[in-house]
Amino acid sequence: MSSLHLNAVRQFEQAASLLGLSEADRAILAVPKNEVIVNFPVTMDNGTVEVLTGYRVQHNNSLGPYKGGMRFSPAVDLDEVRALATWMTFKTALVDIPFGGAKGGIAIDPRNYSAGELERIVRRFTFALGSNIGPDHDIPAPDMGTNAQTMVWMMDTYSSMASVADRHTVRRVVTGKTVATGGSRGRDKATGQGVTFVLDAWLNRTGGSIDGKRVAIQGFGNVGEHAARTLVKAGATVVAAADHTGAIYNGNGIDPEQLWQYTSTHHGIKGAPDGEPITDDDLWRVDCDVFVPAALENQLCERRALDLTATVVVEGANGPTTPEAELVLADRGVTVLPDILGNAGGVTVSYFEWVQNRAGDAWTLSDVDARLRRLLRDATDETLAAAKEFDCTLRDAAYVVALRRLTTVMAQRGVFP
């Protein structure tokens, strides 16, 4: 059986070999430090009680508090959460923010629950996690199937459990909150904005520009939508877009705002008048320069990698490329800007939110964007330099940069006792 966690381990192992890392370092990073599983009851609208299972996997905290999203999706299981937590450790290390890696979630389809049921699920899950999360210990954020409202419920529940005098200081226990409740400006679009900044940084260094690039995007959730908006703003044309309901093509360009208007009222792309309908597989064959997978894991398989016309893939999703497809893409000379760089914009602005909450400050959107652009440009430059040094793919190079940071701290701190 294929394991997503094993894929994540193989990815950093490859870079660990390039660096000649010790067996001890590899063994420490191959497993999460803590795995919390909670089973908790929730009363549904019809009066019945459903017992749900929630996960929080804390992979590593050498560089700072555990950090990562909470995912509500039917595919959530321990293996997936382990993989996602592992990727968070390398993502935060790569962009050089003082956080470790974690991830959590519940195996539910949030669309099957009313707003009231979802609120009770989130609050009871937060209560069950108790002190396993905390403002300087483990800081959740939105991910697939969760949003700013989810985070506000988590924050409010956690605050209600804190001592009376601490109820405001603990609000940084989660990031990705609404701006009104202490969230950062620019956090909502941050992951999609990061896709654009990373692509721009890479194109700048390789003599290109976003202007005039034809882009296809898989996924039109928080990441895909904001990647589309920011790419178009930077001069690109979105020629194809898809989500779990359908896919469309429009050679003259899809207007992200118009498509978003449609998807928010029709719950998906299917039937959108913004382009001609195409099949899921056609999406990967569309004539384009840039492909952005911004949906689930393992979407870019070997067959699709052979079909792809794009010369660069920017991974907005976590783990969208299978190991087999990775080899095909490398063979075909297709550049992959890896997930731990391509989608690091979200956690980077989460860090900004946490800093603002600590300081009691609220930065302007242009300040947030400028800082995000700088951190992602630096991480892209370091990745390019490592790729040159080791003559390796950008994924291996990104892991090299992250591993150097992690193992430096791990060596200085040593193994207790």
Residues forming contacts to ligand GLU in the complex (CB under 6 A) are 67-69, 141, 143, 175-176, 318, 343, 346-347, 350
Whole-number minimum distance, CB 318 to ligand GLU, in Å?
5
Nearer to ligand GLU, 29 or 141 (CB): 141
Name which of 317 and 384 has its Cβ closer to ligand GLU. Answer: 317
Output the residue with the shortest Cβ distance to ligand GLU. Answer: 69
Provide, rounded to whole angstroms, the least separation between the CB of residue 69 and ligand GLU.
3
Rounded to a whole number of angstroms, the minimum distance from the CB of residue 174 to ligand GLU is 9
Please identify, using beta-carbon distances, which residue of 5 and 67 lies nearer to ligand GLU: 67
Q: Which of 196, 318 has the CB closer to ligand GLU?
A: 318
Question: What is the smallest separation between the CB atom of 140 and ligand GLU, expressed in angstroms?
Answer: 7
> Considering the complex, what minimum distance in angstroms separates the CB of residue 97 from ligand GLU?
10
Question: Which residue in 103, 177, 189, 213 is the catalytic one?
Answer: 103
Nearer to ligand GLU by Cβ, of 34 and 311: the residue is: 34
| 103 carries an active-site annotation | yes
Asked if 267 and 245 touch (Cβ cutoff 8 Å), the reply is yes
Q: Which residues are catalytic?
A: 103
